Structures are given as structure tokens and as C-alpha cells.
Amino acid sequence: MLHRLSLVSLALFAMPAIAAPVNYVVDSSHTYPSFEADHLGGVSTWRGKFNSSSGSVTMDRDAGTGEVEIVIDAASIDFGHDGMNDHARRADILDVEQFPAATYRGKLVDFVEGNPTRVDGELTLRGVTRSVPLTIHRFKCIEHPRSKKEVCGADASASFQRDDFGIDYAKAGGFDMGIVVRVQIEVRAAD
């Protein structure tokens, strides 16, 4: 009997460890969703970002699974131009009084060597939810040199039509409705 228990114990220790999902918190001081939008029907491209966002990521790199949830403070829009910022917050564009936040929820997919390459997700903007998949161009996890906790970062992009979300300001004037989104994000392992 003792011999069998020893064999069972050895077999258990010889089994590979089962990885568990890791929970991460978005580092809002290193995460800025940015965008590009047409101005005056092709005269120029306006670029801006949102200065305040939060959220979480759960990821199991060994299993190739994960989930993302990002909440963006719509009022934190920043074109680098006060007049444009004020206008973008009004009812004909973001309507931040009625819709103070935009959210993005999705699943990390298509892992290559433990790193996700896409997010199949949905953006909710102005109360409208649409599929907006993100392509992850760069992804890396390291031990942070100061905190000694794991941090991960990614650079991702997507595009969508803003009128699909009810933002058709200046469409009749020839403005292109296409928006390009670029996201730089860093997350740290939750305590």
C-alpha cells in the first residue's frame, strides 16, 4: 500500500502544472485610445485621444484565451484644440451628458507563441453596440523592473464608420465617416 501511495505521489508531482488565467488591471497612465477622423471632407485628418480610461484583462497565455473590458471617459476627448474638444462633447457628436462612457468588450484570440494577435470585440458608443475587431500589432509581457510584477503591453488598431454609431455630424457636408482607432495599452497583474 505504501509503495502504491509513493507511486501516486510521484505521478502527481511529475504532472505539468496547470496554468490559470491571470487578472490584470489597466494602467490608465500608460493607456490612451487614439483616433483619426476626417476634417472638411478630406482637407485634413484630425487626430485625438482620450485621456482617461480604465478596465481589466484576464488572460491564460498557455490556453490561448482571454477577455478584455475597457471603459473610456468620453469627456476626456483631446484633439489638442479646446474648441474641437468642446464641440466633440456636445449632443451632435459624443453627447457626453447622456453617454458619459464608451466601452469595449472582447475576447483575445489567435494566440501565437502565447501572445494574442486579435481581439474579437464590441464597441458601445452613444448607446449603440457594434462589432469592432482589433488587430494586435505588438504584444509583450515582462516583469516590471521596479514593482517586480508582471506587466503586459500592446499596440492595436481598428476602423469603423462613425455613422454606424449615430454620429453623422457633417456627413451631408461630405465628411468621411471612417474612423481609424489606435490603442496603446499597458496592464499590470492584479494584486
Tens digit of each residue's pLDDT, the chain (191 residues) = 545 544 444 444 444 455 689 999 999 999 999 999 999 999 999 999 999 999 999 999 999 999 999 999 999 999 999 999 999 999 999 999 999 999 999 999 999 999 999 999 999 999 999 999 999 999 999 999 998 999 999 999 999 999 999 999 999 999 999 999 999 999 999 98
Q: Are the C-beta atoms of 103 and 124 separated by less than 8 Å?
A: yes
Taking the C-alpha atoms of residue 86 and residue 12, their distance in angstroms, rounded to an integer, is 62
Q: Which helix (H) or strand (E) holds 45?
A: strand 44-50
Q: What is the pLDDT of residue 27?
A: 96
CATH superfamily of 20-189: Lipid/polyisoprenoid-binding, YceI-like (2.40.128.110)
- CA–CA gap between residue 146 and residue 29 (Å, rounded): 16
pTM equals 0.88
CB 156 within 8 A of CB 115: no
Q: Which of 140, 104, 109, 147 is nearest to 123 (CA)?
A: 104
Secondary structure class of 88 (helix, strand, coil)? helix
